[in-house]
Each structure stands twice: as C-alpha cells, then as structure tokens.
Amino acid sequence: MVRLMDIAAATRPLDWRPDFPAIPEGWAYLDSAATAQKPKPVIEAITKAYAETYATVHRGVYQRSADMTLAFEASRRRVASFINAARPEEIVFVRGATEGINLVAQSWGRDNLKPGDRVLLSALEHHSNIVPWQLAGAGVDVVPLTEDHCIDLDAMAAMIRPEHKLVALGHVSNVLGSKLDAKRAADIAHSVGAKLLLDGCQAVPRMPVDVQDLDCDFYVFSGHKLYGPTGIGVLWARYDLLDAMPPWQGGGAMIDRVTFAKTTYAPPPARFEPGTPHVVGVIGLHAAIDYVAALGLDAIAAHEAALVAEAREALRGLNSVRLFGPEDSAGIVSFAVEGVHPHDVGTILDEAQVAIRAGHHCAQPLMDYLGVDATARASFGVYNGRADIEALARGIERVTRIFG
C-alpha cells in the first residue's frame, strides 16, 4: 500500500459526514461532481415543505399559498445574496444549468446572434455548454488548454475577434477540476464587446462566487451539485440583459395580458418561469445554501484542496496510473490506469465500496483532446476524508493486480 503523505489539518476527519444519512459507514462516495449527497437540513426542509406547508405560489389568495409565496421569494433573495447578485430579480429559477444555458442560447442568442457571428468555447466544456450553441446556429471556435489542462487565456486573447458575440466557459472543469481566471476571461471577452457566460456547476459547491466581482454577464449552476435537490437550478444575468431578452417558453405566470390577438409578457424573472415552478426544489436549494454557508466556502475549498493533494500523491505512487488536470484542481481528480478501461476500474472499485465515475463525463471533445476514450474520476465533497482516499488507493492497487 502506498504511504499517504501527512499534510494539512484540513484532511483530518471532520464532523460533517454524520450530516449525510445516505452515506453508510465504510462507503467511499467519490462522485460529488456528478451529484452531491444531501445533508439532513436539506432533507428536512424538503420533507416539511411537502408534509406541512405545501401549496402553489404567486396566484393563491389563501394564507398557505401566501406563506409559501413568501418562502419561495425569500429563497430567490437568498440565492441572490449567495452569489452577490445586484438584485433578486436577476435570479431565474430553471431545472438546472443545462436549461439555463439553453435559455440564454434560445432567448439572448435568438436576438443577438446574426449570420457570421460566432461563440467562443474551450476544449474542456461540458456538452451542455456546447450543444445549445450549435442548436442556436452559432459558429463555434475553441480555445485550447495549457500543458496543465487549464483554459489557455493567452491563446484566447490572441484568437478573439469582434465576430465573437459571446464567450461561454466552465468556471471549474467537471473532468479536470481546473479553475478559470474568470476576471481575466471577462476582460478579454469585453475587449471586443462579447458577453461572458460562466458554467458554475462545479464552482459554487467549492468556492465563494461573486458574480459582480467576476464581471461576467451570465452565470448558471445546478442545485443538486450544491447539496440541494435535483430539478432546480439558477440562471443569473445582469438585469438589463434579462429585460431585453424575449421569453423562450410560453404558459402561465410569465404573462402580463393574453388575448387571442396578442400577448404581453411579465418583467424578469417571471418572464422566464412559465408554469407551476418546482416550489419544493427552491425551498431545498435555500436550505442547501444555508448549509454550505454555515460550513464556510473557504473552509470547504481548503478541505477539498487538501484531499486533492493527498489523492494525487497517493495515485502518483501507483504503477500505470496517469493523472490529468492541474495539481491545484478544485475537488476533482481524473485518472487512467494503463491497459484498463475506466469502466472496469469503476466496477472493481465498486466491489470495494468505492464509488467513482467512469466514462467521458459529457465531455467527449475533451476526451479527444486528451487522446483517450474515457477517464476515471474521483470527486470530493464535504463528507470525504482520508479514509476515502486510502480506500481508493487500495482499490486501484487491486485493479493493477487483477490486470497484471
């Protein structure tokens, strides 16, 4: 067994794991980049909302509906404060980051992308930040990566042109954990008048996010990666942009006045929230934000950084293991075992009660860029500790023994 290094106190067992009832003793859950486990306060908030306080929002005249409406809009304000939005009306509730990016592509893109206009992406983007722009009919250009698998902003500065109307980049890579210098990316994008959209799915659970300080124009994230429920996410955009964007889906709640001849629309954010919303999902998201805020995002970032350092050190000591991504990746370590398909790695690890992700991680262009079909990925959450890394290393040693 490779000897694990003795590093910062942040890797010592913390008292966060007991908050997560779905993680049994002895199970190493290392797939938080796909979806995070849920702490008791989130589960309790969802249970209470369904069992005690449930009602529709915005249109009911009875007291419970009014109370739930107040809670729903309080959640919007909580999200706004969490990412330092200028005003709550800049927060649009969507099903997840995927829907948020599609909303921007089909609404803002429909009004602003003309023939000959282009969108600038990077080689590490998730499919959800590639396919919507193709569906919108935009020409796509791709920023390469540096040697340590970060978005190459020097290359981006050299290749950006006035035809690029929007730059859409991952704030943290879901495969590599590499962190974007978002403020510099914003400066480069704005130098030619382009807007900047950031995919923050992997960033918001792992580091403080201040959209005003980042100087981006759009920011999206999903609740289920932030220890919240599935089916709820957030699109943030500057209010002047939202106010100029047309609706992309029609229905109840997003209207001002409907006739068979003409419909007028509500102001943002209601314009982009048609139909009955995921009320309980919004309540659960509020509880999740309160939970991570109480732990402290700086503490979470330090904890996961120490786990990444220890995991990379452990895996580097094993024969036939190739590591991807930068040394200071944010909570994510991707790797390959020479001669073993990542699915086989994942299956053998599962036999040892170690749960990782194996595959292309919805980033097939990145796999092509790296010259592999797939990778294995261990990703950390607040509930992980040294014992999980030891279990991972033991499991990979077994993989190498089995496959020789």
Q: Is 216 a catalytic residue?
A: no
Query: How many Å apart are CA 99 and CA 118, to the nearest integer?
Result: 21
Q: Which residues have C-beta within 8 Å of that of residue 307, sequence separation ≥ 6?
A: 10, 11, 331, 380, 384, 385, 388, 389
Angle between helices 297-316 and 386-402 (to 10 degrees): 30
For residue 111, give Cα distances in angstroms to 86, 104, 130, 136, 209. Answer: 24, 10, 19, 11, 28
What does 17-70 look like in DSSP terms, one character per residue?
A: GGG-TTS-TT-EE-BTTT-----HHHHHHHHHHHHTS----SS--SHHHHHHHH
**Burial readout 47-68 (b: 16 or more C-beta within 10 A, e: otherwise):** eebeeeeebebbeeeeeebeeb
Looking at 150, 201, 216, 362, which residue is catalytic?
A: 362
DSSP reduced 3-state for 196: strand
Question: The sheet that has 218-222: what strands, in order across it?
Answer: 91-94, 233-237, 218-222, 195-199, 164-170, 118-122, 139-143
Query: How many Å apart are CA 327 and CA 14, to the nearest integer?
Result: 23
- Residues recognised as catalytic: 362
